[in-house]
Amino acid sequence: MTQLNETHDPASRSWVDSANQPDSDFPIQNLPFAVFRRKGSQESWRGGVAIGEQIVDLALAARHPGVFEGMALEAARAGSQATLNALMALGPAAWSALRLALSRALRASARAAQRAALETTLIAQAQAEYTVPARIGDYTDFYTSLYHATNIGKQFRPDNPLMPNFKWLPVGYHGRASSIGVSGQPVQRPVGQQRPLAEGQPPVFGPCQRLDYELELGVYIGPGNAQGQPIPLGQAESHVFGLCLLNDWSARDIQAWEYQPLGPFLSKNFATTVSPWIVTLEALAPYRALLARPAGDPQPLPYLDSTEQRTRGALDIQLELTLQTEKMRTAGQAPARVALSNYRHAYWTVAQMVAHHTVGGCNLQPGDFLGTGTLSGPTLDQACALIETTGGGKTPFRLPDGQTRSFLEDGDTVIIRGWCQKAGAARIGFGQCRGTILPARVTG
Ligand code: CA
């Protein structure tokens, strides 16, 4: 587990002024990674690191003599490509070397020559566009919030909301990598089969009527493991490159009809949106938290249990979801908050997901992607899917202008934000993960 070091010093300031603003997501203590190019250009995609409102272009910086050396240079070169898979494959020592070199070169106290060199590699985020930062080979979505599992279980199985396996293993299913897109991607309302209106009738076929979001975090895998060689819990975090925001768009009516016996399929595979920035586990080190299990719950089996995970396995990440309807947008009204939750409510940790995923011999590969599952907390204002907020659509959510939502309507924009904040540490953020619903295709 990453220890605190000089890169976390909350007193550090950068010569990039916008990084020193108290509400910046990207102060010098964060240094998250994305893949970007100049907006509207045909330039090559390449890796970059956020600092304030700027991006350090890793491809330019890696070619500039005197900016990086040794392992940091190797990492910067790997991060110069159109995907971050090569950087992810290098592992924590290389990521840390690059982070330390960037931290020192971006500090207000940096040497003049180094600052001058790095200054020429900066591009304003306002002039950039982003893509999915890794070639994602496989995507697995977990189900790690006890509150979400219980709330949604009540909708689908009123008599038996929480399945007996939930407290023994991180439940998951294999998702679809091809439809993962970056923040800003338009999301077309899916079309599909829904429950018959009456017993003995054929299913209804048409546009989804119960379209929902799921606020989650995404996890990018770093170095993989050989097939047949599980990753032990104690080493799991050295296989994790970092975390991003994730919206697992969900078609509840399609899900209700298709999900038994093999789980969600078309209700989840039409689109999944990620934030462009990946915040490393090292950047999150000041925000480790106690993994609290309700009294009386079983402790995990030995391969999922350690003192370190119990005491520091969770992460204190604030998560917010806001909604802006088309009418609000037209009227110039700001998005309205629907949920404010925290990742520390999750029942299973990142390391437990990795250890469980591989315990049977499955091999993870650099750039593989895990979703945490919907990160609802214990109260209704912490519910991270509309199906929970509205009790399955029965109690519509009221927006400030009087509009209501049971499920998403065409033109709705969903925005997820995440940040970490506490006394004695620098505030760091994840940027945002945004998507707007487009009408379904016309069906005949
Ligand atoms: Ca999900």
Task: Tell how far the Cα of 96 is from the centroid of ligand 1, in angstroms.
Answer: 31
Task: Tell how far the Cα of 267 is from the centroid of ligand 1, in angstroms.
Answer: 10
Find out whether 57 and 33 touch, Cβ atoms under 8 Å.
no
Query: The tokens of 181 are what?
Result: 């897109």
> Is 357 designated active site?
no
CA distance 259 to 194: 11
Query: The tokens of 27 are what?
Result: 């102060």
Residues with Cβ within 8 Å of 330's Cβ and at least 6 positions away in sequence, in order, are none
8 phi, psi to nearest 5 deg: -95, -5
Task: Tell how far the Cα of 136 is from the centroid of ligand 1, in angstroms.
Answer: 17
Indicate the length of the chain as a whole number: 444
- pLDDT by position in tens, the chain (length 444): 778 999 999 999 999 999 999 999 999 999 999 999 999 999 999 999 999 999 999 999 999 988 999 999 999 999 999 999 999 999 999 999 999 999 999 999 999 999 999 999 999 999 999 999 999 999 999 999 999 999 888 887 888 889 999 999 999 999 999 999 999 999 999 999 999 999 999 999 999 999 999 999 999 999 999 999 999 999 999 999 999 999 999 999 999 999 999 999 999 999 999 999 999 999 999 999 999 888 999 999 999 999 999 999 999 999 999 999 999 999 999 999 999 999 999 999 999 999 999 999 999 999 999 999 999 999 999 999 999 999 999 999 999 999 999 999 999 999 999 999 999 999 999 999 999 999 999 876
Task: Tell how far the Cα of 328 is from the centroid of ligand 1, in angstroms.
Answer: 27
Catalytic residue among 8, 64, 148, 174: 148
Strands (E), 202-280: 204-207, 211-212, 215-221, 240-247, 250-251, 272-274, 279-280
> Among candidates 140, 171, 168, 139, which has minimal Cα distance to 153?
171
CA distance 17 to 13: 8
How many Å from the N-terminal Cα to the C-terminal Cα in the chain?
55
pTM of the model: 0.97
Task: Tell how far the Cα of 248 is from the centroid of ligand 1, in angstroms.
Answer: 5
Task: Tell how far the Cα of 403 is from the centroid of ligand 1, in angstroms.
Answer: 26
Task: Tell how far the Cα of 148 is from the centroid of ligand 1, in angstroms.
Answer: 10
3-state secondary structure 16-44: CHHHHCCCCCCCCCCCCEEEEEECCCCCC
Find out whether 216 and 246 touch, Cβ atoms under 8 Å.
yes
Task: Tell how far the Cα of 416 is from the centroid of ligand 1, in angstroms.
Answer: 14
User: What strand order describes the sheet that includes 413-420?
Assistant: 186-188, 428-438, 413-420, 318-324, 336-342
Task: Tell how far the Cα of 440 is from the centroid of ligand 1, in angstroms.
Answer: 21
> How many helices (DSSP H) and strands (DSSP E) are in the chain?
11, 26
Which pLDDT does position 444 carry in this prediction?
A: 63
